[in-house]
């Protein structure tokens, strides 16, 4: 078994983790840290839905780098900085095409 870790150049730099980890044999891809950050590492402008859109775009970019699509996702865990049901619903509305197991949980903000 080999493990390949990568940070696609189309995503922001990461502090201590990789956007994509691929384990060979049977390929399993683990994505980490898909935050509402642009390529420059700054939180995108706009409201929380603009941030959700950036997270979805970053996730799609990371999946593409691994040769996968949302259809290949088997489990998704998303942490949001609010308990508002409308925001949490908007997150899942944007993950169309994936029949993965889903979980979202409110968390304190982890970025400035």
Count of structural domains, the chain: 1
Residue 21 inside a domain? The answer is no
The CATH number that applies at residue 68 is 3.30.1330.40
Q: Is residue 2 part of a domain?
A: no
Q: Catalogue the E-assigned strands of the chain.
A: 3-6, 20-23, 28-31, 75-80, 101-106
Q: What is the pLDDT of residue 102?
A: 46
| Residue 90, pLDDT score | 80
Q: Is 28 part of any domain? A: no
**pLDDT per position as a tens digit, 2-46:** 778 899 999 999 877 888 888 777 778 899 989 999 999 999 999
The predicted model scores a pTM of 0.69
Tell whether 24 is covered by a domain.
no
92 inside domain = yes
**10 occurs within a structural domain:** no
| Structural domain range at position 61 | 34-106
Confidence of residue 96 (pLDDT cuts 50, 70, 90): low
């Amino acid at each position: 078994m080999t493990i390949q870790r990568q940070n696609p150049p189309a995503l922001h730099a990461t502090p201590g983790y990789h956007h994509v980890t691929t384990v060979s044999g049977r390929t399993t891809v683990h994505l980490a840290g898909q935050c509402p950050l642009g390529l420059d590492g700054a939180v995108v402008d706009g409201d929380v839905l603009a941030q959700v859109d950036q997270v979805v775009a970053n996730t799609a970019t990371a999946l593409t780098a691994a040769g996968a699509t949302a259809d290949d996702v088997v489990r998704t865990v998303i942490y949001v900085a609010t308990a508002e049901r409308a925001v949490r619903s908007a997150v899942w509305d944007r993950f169309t095409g994936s029949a993965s197991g889903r979980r979202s949980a409110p968390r304190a903000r982890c970025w400035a």
